[in-house]
Chain A
Amino acid sequence: MTALEVEKPLLEERPQPSQMVQEVCAGGEGGKLKEGKLTSQKAVERVIEEDQVAVKQSLPEEKLETAKDKRASAQKKLNDLLKSLASADPMPMEPPLKLSKPKARQKKPINLDIQDQDSELPQPDEPVIEPELLSATREVAESLGGDVAATESELLSTLRSHTVNGSNDGKSSIDWSDLFVGMKVERTQSKPAEALPRRRRHHQDPSAQRTIFGDGVPNKKSLPRTITRPDPRTLARVDIFGAECLGIFTGESSKVSKSAVPASSSLVVWEAARKRELQQCVYHPPDNSFTEMIQWTKQGKLWVFPIDNEVGLEEEKSVGFHEHVFLGHHLDGWCPQRGPIRHFMELVCTGLSKNPYMTVERKRAHLEWYKNYFKEKEELLKELGAIEATP
């Protein structure tokens, strides 16, 4: 609070010198360093002249003496100041309270030319404040009273920073830095997102083994309650169009696989058993619903896509329509040529011929059943007169 305490009285009680100093430092709106310096010189001259005048207005003898003394003392002080500036640490500040102060950010302009850079190197050492300014600050500090050295050093630091920054920043930089010096500013530390572990369970493989006990049932406690989604950054980049088209929805892959099966060795059962054993060894529960559906498709629970209405009726493709439609020859041999039975059987045949959903074997089985049935009832039929007794 020392800086504020010092600067408040500056602003409030002693407007004139502070205004002069600020004007000096600001050097007008958007003014260059040189112009600022000129105005500052003029202002300092005015201040000095005013002080000298004020001094001279008092008793002439005493005033002259005091003026001379003051000048001498001022020069001495100047020299001291310069020495202190030349020394290593020109800021012997010892505030009673240690407060967090924001660093005065020095905006260095980006220079592409090397020559300019070389010229700019001695800049940090350069902010040389004019001796008149120095004397003015000294007098101001003395007039204020209190800790003179501290106030003076603070004023000098502000002056120095202002000269480094240039007159472009203007009052704004000083005001903000002065305002926030004493206040505690909350700083939100940026959390390194990548440093945090994405998964709470670091060991995935041993935990998988641990989940399964003698029962074979996964332990409820060890299973994660929430699904740990894989980090999209760690997942491998997949090129969708890198591989060949699978042809799942066009049915090409299934047709190709059927034709491309090579002739295996004679040990068919062995091969089947070996295959089954491999399947059993490698069996895993489905990772997701897609693998579950694949499993069901293999088991025959789900239809194979693209949906084929004639699944399970592959053999029927080899059977011609004539076998389905022309069933009259099955009646030859046993069925009478005329009568109700013939009529009935012909109706049965027409009905079966119109049925595309039945296999040929089933149709033949129907006709065969009727043949047997009527053979059993032959005597009764002969009595009734349905069948004509063969001569």
Chain B
Amino acid sequence: MRVLRGWWRNSRSRRRANMAATTTTLLTRSFINFLSISSPLSLQVPLRSFHTSLTACKYPNWKMIKEVKHRKIVKEFAFERMNINALRKNKIIPPAIQEIADKEIHALPRKSSISQLHKRCMLTSRPRGLVTRWRLSRIVWRHEADYNKLSGVQRAMW
């Protein structure tokens, strides 16, 4: 049950990180200003150190971080891939051009493919047993449902 412990621990630590104190040093304030001058929405003040907005602090797992990067690449090439696939998957365009299109899409990075993505639980990074709609693993899903955090989810009884 290491996964569960990690999720609980990380969620607690993230909550503590969000609960920032009012007193900040000059350095941190300037750091905030340096970071985000144009975005008035972000209000989170870093607590005790710098580098709290790193990707590693946000996700429970390095695998999860890799998956996040994977998805970013997918988003980047999604437009191109869609167009090229539309050329490929029809019987109107001459086959010569379709072959060229095949090569072109093969040349694109492998990670840009949606089918290469492997979904993970957003809280525990569990690769299997996911409930797709909530992007959670079945264990976390069940826990949240029991604590009435999932809208419209109720214990089945008939």
Question: What is the interface of chain A, defined by CB distance below 8 A to chain B?
Answer: 212, 215-218, 272-273, 275-276, 279-280, 283-286, 292, 295, 298-300, 340-341, 343-344, 347-348, 365-366, 369-370, 373, 377, 380-381, 384, 386
Tell whether A216 pairs with B41 under 8 Å between CB atoms, given A280-B29, A340-B94, A377-B97.
no
How many CB-defined contacts (below 8 Å) exist between A and B?
81
Interface residues on B, range: 20 to 34
A283-B40 contact, Cβ under 8 Å, with A216-B47, A373-B83, A377-B97: no
The interface residues of chain A, by DSSP majority, are classed as helix
Q: Which residues of B contact A (CB under 8 A)?
A: 18-25, 29, 32-33, 37, 40-45, 47-48, 79-80, 83, 86-87, 90, 92-94, 96-97, 100
Contact A279-B19, Cβ < 8 Å, known A340-B92, A344-B92, A347-B92: no
Residue pair B24, A381 in contact (C-beta under 8 Å): no
Task: State which of A215, A273, A283, A340 has its C-beta within 8 Å of the C-beta of B43.
Answer: A283
Q: Are B22 and A283 in contact (CB under 8 A)?
A: yes
Would you call B40 and A275 a contact (CB within 8 A)?
Answer: yes
From B19, B79, B86, A348 is in contact (CB under 8 Å) with B86
Instruction: Give the residue of B24, B37, B40 whose beta carbon is less than 8 angstroms from that of A279.
Output: B40
Flag if A384 contacts B94 (CB, 8 Å). yes
Nearest A residue to B80, CB-CB: A369
Q: Find out whether the CB atom of B20 lies under 8 angstroms from the CB atom of A285.
A: yes
5 A-B pairs in the complex with CB atoms less than 8 angstroms apart: A216-B20, A217-B21, A344-B90, A347-B92, A369-B83
A272 to B22, CA, bound (A): 21
Across the interface, do A272 and B45 meet the contact criterion of CB distance under 8 Å?
Answer: no
Q: How far is the CB of A9 from chain B (nearest CB, A)?
A: 76
Do the beta carbons of A283 and B97 come within 8 Å of each other? Answer: no
Residues of A within 8 A of B45 (CB): 280, 283
- For the complex with contacts A216-B20, A384-B96, 6 further pairs of A-B residues with Cβ separation under 8 Å are A216-B47, A279-B43, A280-B43, A341-B93, A365-B79, A380-B97
